[in-house]
Amino acid sequence: MTRTIGLMSGKGGVGKTTITSNLSTILAKKEKKVTVLDCNFTTSHLLMHFGKVYHPKTLNDVLKGESSMDEATYLNYTGVRVVPASLDLSDMMGVDVKMLGSKIENIFQDQDFVFLDNAAGFGRESISGMMASNEAILVATPYLPDITDIIRGKTILEDLGVDILGVVLNKVTGKKFELPDEEILELIELPILAKIPFDYKVMESLGLKTPLTFYDKKSRVSKELHRLASTLAGDNYIPAGGGILNTLSALVKRWS
């Protein structure tokens, strides 16, 4: 069955698009069929994370009834199918984001995963994306303003009946001024799915127009994203390139 997973956060810039592009890349490498939708119509970036700025048809055209989802889908070299939103704000004319759910319903039945990369905040755009999702991942940095947003987001998702998988903490440095896990867990009452370190390599990958996990499996960011992807795919996480100890632990995991 297709899993439709929306990414949500209070603030922008916390890492939703980065996580969407990398998780989908890893899952596609695991032979999963994965489509990502840019549901951030007013500040769309998803296609750029896959190294491209233009595709002739977009999700805007689909919502206007002027294009099929197939025409608006770009198959990236990573194996991920990307449905971009238009970069041109005038393409918002005639787009009703509330139609998103009904437009994507029954379209992706052959896919294992559909990720919805949402707009930040809890406005019409992001709520429409979440209403079109069955499951949600909340993204935050380990600071109080983001964590209070998670609490707000959680209430909204519960009201919408969306299954919350948990929270991904991103840009984690481990410095003393960050909120400790115990405090975060007490506040959010949701599982922490992953803790992704802050790493300039993430920005480097954006500059190189390719998801980080596609070319660097050994960075700590990649490893954490691979671990998260394994959790979603329900398989055993096998760390990349960790030498004989990792190989042995992978073997033990496999055969136990």
Ligand X SMILES: Nc1ncnc2c1ncn2[C@@H]1O[C@H](COP(=O)(O)OP(=O)(O)O)[C@@H](O)[C@H]1O
Binding interface with ligand X (CB under 6 A): 9, 12-18, 45, 120, 170-171, 196, 198-199, 202-203, 206, 221
Which residue lies nearer to Mg ion by CB, 42 or 246?
42
Which residue lies nearer to ligand X by CB, 85 or 120?
120
Which residue lies nearer to Mg ion by CB, 12 or 197?
12
Residue with tokens 């100890």: 245
Q: Is 133 in the site for Mg ion (CB under 5 A)?
A: no
**39, interface contact from ligand X, Mg ion, none, CB < 5-8 Å by kind:** none
Smallest gap from residue 31 Cβ to Mg ion (A): 27
Smallest gap from residue 116 Cβ to ligand X (A): 12
**242, interface contact from Mg ion, ligand X, none, CB < 5-8 Å by kind:** none
**13, interface contact from ligand X, Mg ion, none, CB < 5-8 Å by kind:** ligand X
Tokens, residue 200: 């300039």
Tokens, residue 150: 């998670």
Contact 58, 64 (CB under 8 A): no
Closest residue to Mg ion in the complex (CB): 17
* Neighbouring residues of 113: CB distance < 8 A, sequence distance ≥ 6: 2, 3, 5, 24, 27, 32, 33, 34, 35, 232
**123, interface contact from ligand X, Mg ion, none, CB < 5-8 Å by kind:** none
Identify the three-state secondary structure at position 106.
coil
Q: Is 17 in the site for Mg ion (CB under 5 A)?
A: yes
d(CA 176, CA 146): 17
Smallest gap from residue 1 Cβ to Mg ion (A): 27
Query: Total residues at the site for Mg ion (CB under 5 A)?
Result: 2
**69, interface contact from ligand X, Mg ion, none, CB < 5-8 Å by kind:** none
CB neighbours (10 Å) of residue 2? 17
Contact stretch for Mg ion (CB under 5 A) within 14-22, 30-38, 209-217, 228-236:
14-22
Which residue lies nearer to Mg ion by CB, 116 or 165?
116
Identify the three-state secondary structure at position 113.
strand
Which residue lies nearer to ligand X by CB, 16 or 57?
16
In Å, what is the CA distance from 243 to each residue of 125, 221, 238, 247? Answer: 45, 18, 12, 6
Tokens, residue 215: 């070319």
Residue 135 φ/ψ region, left for φ over 0, alpha for ψ in the -120 to 50 degree band, beta for the rest:
beta
- CB burial readout 194-223, b (16+ within 10 A) else e: bbbbbbebbeebbeeebbbbbebbebebbb
Which residue lies nearer to ligand X by CB, 69 or 137?
137
Q: Which residues bind Mg ion (CB under 5 A)?
A: 16-17
